[in-house]
Amino acid sequence: MSEMTISGEYFRGIIKDNPIFALVLGLCPTLAVTTSVENAIGMAGAALFVLLGSNIMISALRKHIPPITRIPMFIIIICTFVTIIDMVMEAYTPPLYKALGIFIPLIVVNCIIIGRAEAYAIRNNVKYSIVDALGIGTGFLIVLVIIGTIRELLGTGAIVLFGFKLISIPIYSDSPATFMILPAGAFMTIGVLMALVNYNRIRKLKRGL
Amino acid sequence: MSKEMGVVLLKLVVLSIVAATVLGAVYIPTQEQLKIYQEEQRELALIDVMPLAENFDPVKSGEEILYYRALDADNNLVGYSFFRDQSGSQSVITLAGGIDTDYKVTGIKIMSHAETPGLGAKIIEPTFTDQFKGVAESDLLLSKNDGAIDAITGASVSSQAVIDGIQAKINEIKANE
């Protein structure tokens, strides 16, 4: 990381440091909430908001955060943003809030957020911390939506987004593979995707890229 | 206490105060919005527990709404519906209920609760709540007391609380009508 560019930092969060496939952080909410595309977007949106808020605050205060109390201070900052998004979602999007349930408050202990605080925001300026949060947040969103799409489509035979039916597989949706929206489906989907990602990565390494 | 220590403490305190202020500022508008939403949910619940009714006419004591007289399209009384806060085993259970003019239950719905997950929390499940449909007041007991309601295994306190809540409201309506 000798030379940092804004676009470089942004795409690093999506590809090289993708929270799920490269850093392997935040798997618990990833497995739990990706039962539908809508939940996936809601979860990723909430996480992005918290990540952005905590990265901005922590990088802005980084010269004032004493090393010995940095973890408690991170937690206070992260908690504040999580509680804000928790209250806002409860008030304005109750069905989504119900669907995501305990996983909204649990963003407090989501390792993506505290991981970025510790590994990035505490060492970099506000501008790059914003870019980092957006990049990592986008990476999280893309992965959640991919997993959510696969699971919802195979598990229910259709994709319903904010009340609109986007896709429906005609005959299949009469008897879909329900286990795909259950936990087993989450593990299988993420396992297969992770294998594909790693296969690609190893192939690239062999070609010396 | 060293001076450094004091600075660290001060920083923690200041950060906490700022965080608390921000949260307070967000709390007020979101709570208002939440109230509006809960009001809508309550209106939907009234119709849910009393499907025959078209209109609900609140019966008040002072400012507080005791229950609603449920009226059909021709303004005939078809029953009563109500909300009740009843203390359960772990928490206050808020339920909506409807009864017809013979004091037979037309339906119940649990609005909110914080009972034990896996045990008392099952009071929201249709297998429990659907048992109440069509039950006369005299049968409004747990089956172990020769009533019509099967308690949830391991959660007789929560189950009894739901019954008590409905019974209390029926008594109140009887006293008023």
> At residue A2, does pLDDT exceed 70?
no
**Domain assignment of residue B56, yes or no:** yes
Average pLDDT, chain A: 85
Average pLDDT over residues B13-34: 91
More confident residue, B148 or B16: B16
Number of independent structural domains in chain B: 1
More confident residue, B104 or A167: B104
What is the structure's pLDDT at A169?
Answer: 76
What is the structure's pLDDT at B1?
Answer: 60
> At residue A204, does pLDDT exceed 60?
yes
Number of C-beta neighbours around residue A108 at 10 A: 17
Give the β-pairing of A164-168 and A158-161: antiparallel
Is A87 touching B (CB cutoff 8 A)?
A: yes
**Domain assignment of residue B71, yes or no:** yes
What is the structure's pLDDT at A3?
Answer: 67
Interface test with A, best of B2, B4, B9, B11 (most A CBs within 10 A): B11
What is the structure's pLDDT at B121?
Answer: 82
Q: What are phi and psi of A10, to 5 degrees?
A: -65, -50
Give the pLDDT confidence of B28-40 residue by residue, as tens digits.
999 898 888 888 8
Give the pLDDT confidence of B41-75 residue by residue, as tens digits.
888 888 888 888 888 888 887 778 888 888 888 88
Is A93 touching B (CB cutoff 8 A)?
A: no
Chain A, chain B: beta-carbon pairs less than 8 Å apart = 46
DSSP string, A132-183: HHHHHHHHHHHHHHHHHHHHHHHHHSEEEETTEEEEE-TTGGGS--GGGGSH
**Domain assignment of residue B32, yes or no:** no
Identify all chain B residues contacting A68, using CB atoms and an 8 Å cutoff: 8
Is A101 touching B (CB cutoff 8 A)?
A: no
**Domain assignment of residue B133, yes or no:** yes
Closest of B155, B140, B176 to residue B67, by C-alpha: B176
Q: Which residues pair with B81 in a beta bridge?
A: B68, B98
Closest of A85, A87, A81 to residue A58, by C-alpha: A81
Q: Does B33 sit within 8 Å of A92, measured CB to CB?
A: yes
Q: Does A66 sit within 8 Å of B26, measured CB to CB?
A: no
Q: Which domain holds residue B62?
A: 45-176
What is the structure's pLDDT at B26?
Answer: 92
Confidence of residue A1 (pLDDT cuts 50, 70, 90): very low
> At residue B7, does pLDDT exceed 70?
yes
ipTM for the predicted complex comes to 0.72
Would you say B80 and B98 are in contact if contact means Cβ atoms under 8 Å apart?
yes
CA distance A79 to chain B (A): 9
**Domain assignment of residue B38, yes or no:** no
Stretch 104-143 of chain A: residues touching chain B, C-beta under 8 Å: none
Give the pLDDT confidence of A126-158 residue by residue, as tens digits.
888 999 999 999 999 999 999 998 988 888 887
**Domain assignment of residue B107, yes or no:** yes
Q: SS3 of A105, please?
A: helix
Give the pLDDT confidence of A67-97 residue by residue, as tens digits.
888 888 899 999 999 999 999 988 888 888 8
DSSP string, B27-96: HHHHHHHHHHHHHHHHHHHHHHH-TT-SEEEEEEETTEEEEEEEE-TTS-EEEEEEEEEEE-SSSEEEEE
Identify all chain A residues contacting B16, using CB atoms and an 8 Å cutoff: 76
Residues 6+ apart with CB under 8 A from A75: A108, A114
Q: Does B8 sit within 8 Å of A76, measured CB to CB?
A: no
Q: Does B37 sit within 8 Å of A87, measured CB to CB?
A: no
DSSP string, A76-100: HHHHHHHHHHHHHHHHH-HHHHHHH
**% of residues, chain B, pLDDT over 70:** 99
Q: What is the Cβ-side half-sphere exposure of residue B8, based on CA atoms within 13 angstroms?
A: 13
Closest-CA residue of B relative to A85 is B26
**Domain assignment of residue B88, yes or no:** yes
Is A63 touching B (CB cutoff 8 A)?
A: no
Quick one: DSSP state of residue A125?
-
